[in-house]
A and B are shown apart, each in its own frame.
Chain A
Amino acid sequence: MKVGVVTFPGSNCDYDAYAAVRNILNEEVNFLWHKSDDLMGSDLVILPGGFSYGDYLRAGAIAKFSPIMKEVIQFAKDGGLVAGICNGFQILAEASLLPGALIRNDHLRFSCKFVYLRVENNKTAFSSCYGEGQIIKIPIAHSEGNFYHFDGEVEKLESNNQVVFRYCDEDGNVTEAANPNGSLNNIAGLCNEQGNVFGMMPHPERAVEDILGSTDGLGLFESVRSVISKMTTADAN
């Protein structure tokens, strides 16, 4: 698997995503500079967390215009795998590669803590290594992670099975108390209709080693790896 991690000015989880892929999964990974137009043959492009362009104007609003995003958008339209984490999710929503918007947390504060997620759809390229209904522990760190979409549109996402992760409590109950930011239907991560573009507010790259408090984020990277290795095998055949 060959992974590209985009560095925007203000990205600050780019190195964490890089380290997870390089040191824990032992896969090839490159940084992709925001001014570049070369995805360096990546099988998976990650838009990492941080504060791209200072999150000025709106989180993700400026990043969508950077040169590399033109390539990322084309790559996604061609069926390439793109994952946005936290600020990356916000950028994908701003770029309309994913539906909905991420608005201010309902409590109006930044929030960094471990939360529990329920795997709602394990048939996607980003979640196939999890069990359906599995409960995983992954941290959040954001102040604009409140997923919002128009009436009717959310129902469409639900009926299309685009919701991949939902905030829940330790026992898997999807409750208001377990919702850390006010997201509609406790949505924490979702994919586009085609299933090749995915975004989530929690940080799987922060949950890849025991010393960090959880390894539940590994499944996401392993899911992508397994899809890509199958594609590569299929190509070879």
Chain B
Amino acid sequence: MSAAYKQPEVSLEMVKSHGLNDEEYDLIKKILGREPNYTELGIYSVMWSEHCSYKNSIALLKTLPRDGDCLLAKAGEENAGAVDIGDGLAVVFKIESHNHPSAIEPYEGAATGVGGILRDIFTMGARPIAALNSLRFGSPDNPRVRYLVDGVVRGIGNYGNCFGVPTVAGEVYFDESYTGNPLINAMAVGIVKHNEMASATSEGNGNPIMIVGSKTGRDGNHGATFASEEISEKSQEKRPSVQIGDPFTEKLLLEATLEIIREDLIVGIQDMGAAGITCSCSEMSAKGESGIEIDIDKVPVREEKMVPYEILLSESQERMLVCVKKGNEQRVTEIFDKWGLDSTLIGHVTDDKMFTVKLHGEIVSRIPSESLVLGGGAPVYHRETKRPAYLDDLHKLDFGSLPLDRNWNATLLTMLASPNICQKGWVFDQYDSMVRTNTAVGPGSDAAVIRLRKTRKALAMSTDCNGRYCYSNPRAGTRSAVAESARNVVCSGGQPVAITNCLNFGNPYKPEIYYGFSEAIGGMSEACLVFNTPVTGGNVSFYNEDPERAVFPTPTIGMLGVIEDIDHITTQWFKDAGDVILLVGSNTKELGVSEYLHTIYKQTRGDVPALDLEFEKRMQDSLLTLIRKGVIKSAHDCTEGGLSVALAECCISNADNTTGANVNTADDIRADALLFGESQSRIILSCREADTATIIELFKNNSVSCRKIGAVGGDRLKIDGLVDLPLEKIAGAYFNAMHEFMDARPVEPATGAV
């Protein structure tokens, strides 16, 4: 590149192709007091993209409950939220989407999603101790969908396995609404001592700025802009916008990063994800109320003849920007050398609050940092909402159209073998769930549990969302998602402490879509206030649409819970013959938007099951008290598939020790609603006969219904004279289904229309 680099002229057409509208372009001219040049246009384009600026969501996000005594870093303050858990330790956790890249390049899209969220954790000085994910695809009958499932699972697996973080939990849902636009949400959890937490800031005039990790290439250019559009026929052409991950480099980057933080060599550090160098420079300097000046020609590159525009916007993976305490540059370089990674001085902190880029000493871009970032000069929009007309019709459910003369044994087996209910071992066996030897409960129980060495504590974590509920009723559906994630944590012996969220929606410029978003935020607020679980951050992903439809509104909740003592860890499966089975909560005549309607009648219809948040909270508090008393032998909540599916899971989900159950609820409600209804706030417990009275008494004192419904034992599951099945049949349906629909049928090759 010669010093006489001449930038292309900025035309109005070019402005438009950068996704900026007229008002936004006018605003840029006002901020700069002049026309932006080509490089500056590129910078504004990515920083003001939906993906980086949250311009269409931030106003509503600010209404979420984001305060709590235990928060060390609140939503938006750092790369991830941080929660104090005592013993001088903090938990750092966050969930993020990588939907668009995974839709067109499932393996790399999913892998780099994992890589990105892991960097968000260790850039704060925390060592990642667990990864989770929440995945949604179209029907597995579609070969293109199977191709996506196959690639995504391999991508997540290979990245996490090689990096060395246990992938301990996740959800996998299938529904036609996700056919062309799958949802790939990755969550990571890390642990750090309070005094070793790092911040994403740059300050101190003259402090050196270094880029560390991988070299910068042309991969992933404009990934953030691409993520801010709907998926279309043309999306395949954007495959070059998908970044390529290298988990081996990330593992080295992790170790080197933690070393420079532990040795107290730096002022701040931020990983490079969306919008690469541009985003980290502008955000760090804006946070530190400083400026940054970099020499773009000093950035190590993979390819020749890269222009500043490309280097600034590259989304090459496994890179970090570091603001070093002056005088420590040499030591930082020694540490990165030890791990075989580049570390290069590319600039310094200034006091002019400008993000300045020079090429061979000449300025190619100069922009006020504050004007680029979320919470600063980036635009904020309040979008129009409109209640979708389909809701009124959707909510009508005629029980008369659902015949009751079914064979309930066969129906339960069909339900257990359905894609959304069957056991997902095909998926999670491909993830290393045990590396680091802290996994007390891996995939397959209500929540995953990771013990914390040198303490008695453990962390319980879960991701939850029923998109079908949110489609039918975004507010109530989101309340249920929060309640279910808290319930899963409590069933595992943990106290829910905070959430992270991943909000997956369609195009925000469509009022019906924005209605769903706005309602979901409202429902989340209501529930988080009741459970006292503030929102510590997360990610918004709009434009999740293929040419035929938008995805179901899917506000995925990642819940973190603290288990005070490892003796409280509780799992979902029945333990010993002779134990008593208790039902907490009530069976009701509800089948709205149930898995039963979807699987048996191919219908998505009705309103969501009713949820009383206050009741749910009392129920969860009571259960946690009992778990801590040591009287609960197993706890499992009833969700998709209702009571019968939950009972079947209690019987067989510990493959080493399956046991039957004999249940008689004596409830006088329709058989389909009794067996498969999804009424909320229900938990199946098992306990010793001798503890039964204590348990029922405590629930009663808190005005929560709890009663004996049966006993553990035998080798059959019997429910109310409706179901009577041997365990082998139940296990056969539940454990084999995913293998059958994935392995027995071909996946489509990589090419082809979305």
Contact = CB atoms under 8 A, between A and B. Distances in A.
B435 A55 contact: no
A170 B154 CA distance: 29
B437 A205 contact: yes
A54 B164 CA distance: 11
Nearest to B440: A211
Interface string A106-122: 00011111000000000
B248 interface: yes
B594 interface: no
Interface string A87-131: 000000000000000000000011111000000000000000000
Nearest to A113: B429
Contact of B430 (A16, A53, A111, A139): A111
B429 A112 contact: yes
Contacts of B656: 170
Contacts of B434: 112, 139, 141, 203, 206, 212
Contact of B440 (A50, A51, A212): A212
B437 A12 contact: no
B424 interface: no
Interface string A127-143: 00000000000010100
B248 A10 contact: yes
Nearest to B340: A9
A15 interface: yes
A219 B451 CA distance: 23
A12 B429 contact: no
A56 B158 contact: no
Contacts of A19: 437, 453
Nearest to B454: A23
B430 A212 contact: no
B164 A112 contact: no
A34 B247 CA distance: 19
Nearest to A141: B432
Nearest to A208: B437
Nearest to A203: B434
A75 B157 CA distance: 35
A212 B450 CA distance: 10
A47 interface: no
Interface residues of B, number: 33
Contacts of B566: 211
Nearest to B426: A109
A163 interface: no
B316 interface: no
A60 to B, nearest CB: 14
Interface in A41-66: 49-51, 53-56
B213 to A, nearest CB: 14
B387 interface: no
B430 A110 contact: yes
Contact of A54 (B162, B432, B436, B569): B162
Contacts of A68: none
Given A10-B162, A50-B164, A113-B429, A16 B436 contact: yes
Given A51-B248, A54-B162, A16 B437 contact: yes
Contacts of A20: 437
A13 interface: yes
Contact of B429 (A9, A111, A205, A208): A111
Interface string A14-45: 01100110000000000000000000000000
B163 interface: yes
Contacts of B423: none
Interface string B431-466: 111111101100000000001010000000000000
Contacts of B252: 9-10
B139 interface: no
Nearest to A112: B432
Contacts of B164: 12-13, 50
B246 interface: yes
B251 interface: yes
Contacts of B440: 211-212
Given A9-B339, A12-B163, A111-B429, A54 B248 contact: yes
B158 A110 contact: yes
A110 B437 contact: no
B430 A112 contact: yes
A10 B451 CA distance: 24
Contacts of B692: none
B437 A109 contact: no
Nearest to A107: B743
B248 A53 contact: yes
Contact of A10 (B157, B251, B425, B439): B251
A92 to B, nearest CB: 20
B705 interface: no
Among B248, B428, B433, B440, the most chain A Cβ lie within 10 Å of the Cβ of B248
B420 interface: no
Nearest to A111: B429
Contact of B435 (A12, A111, A208): A12
A51 B430 contact: no
Contacts of B425: 113
A16 B435 CA distance: 8
B654 to A, nearest CB: 11
Interface in B701-730: none
Nearest to B167: A112
A59 B339 CA distance: 20
B586 to A, nearest CB: 35
Contacts of A206: 434-435, 437
Contacts of A53: 248
Contacts of B569: 211
Contacts of A208: 437
Interface string B148-163: 0000001001100111
A51 B436 CA distance: 14
Contacts of A49: 435
Contacts of B433: 112
Contacts of B154: 109-110
Contact of A13 (B247, B339, B435): B435
Contacts of B163: 12
B722 to A, nearest CB: 33
A212 B431 contact: no
A50 B163 CA distance: 8
A141 B435 contact: yes
B248 A15 contact: no
A194 B73 CA distance: 57
Contact of B439 (A9, A12, A203, A212): A212
A139 B656 CA distance: 14
A205 to B, nearest CB: 7
B436 to A, nearest CB: 6
Contacts of A141: 161, 432, 434-435
23 contacts: A9-B339, A9-B340, A12-B435, A12-B436, A13-B435, A16-B436, A16-B437, A20-B437, A49-B435, A51-B162, A51-B247, A51-B248, A51-B251, A54-B246, A54-B247, A54-B248, A54-B249, A109-B429, A112-B432, A112-B434, A139-B434, A206-B434, A211-B440
Interface of A: 9-10, 12-13, 15-16, 19-20, 49-51, 53-56, 109-113, 139, 141, 170, 203, 205-206, 208-209, 211-212
Given A16-B436, A54-B247, 17 more contacts: A10-B251, A12-B251, A15-B436, A109-B430, A111-B429, A111-B430, A112-B430, A112-B431, A112-B433, A113-B425, A139-B434, A141-B161, A141-B432, A141-B434, A206-B435, A208-B437, A212-B440
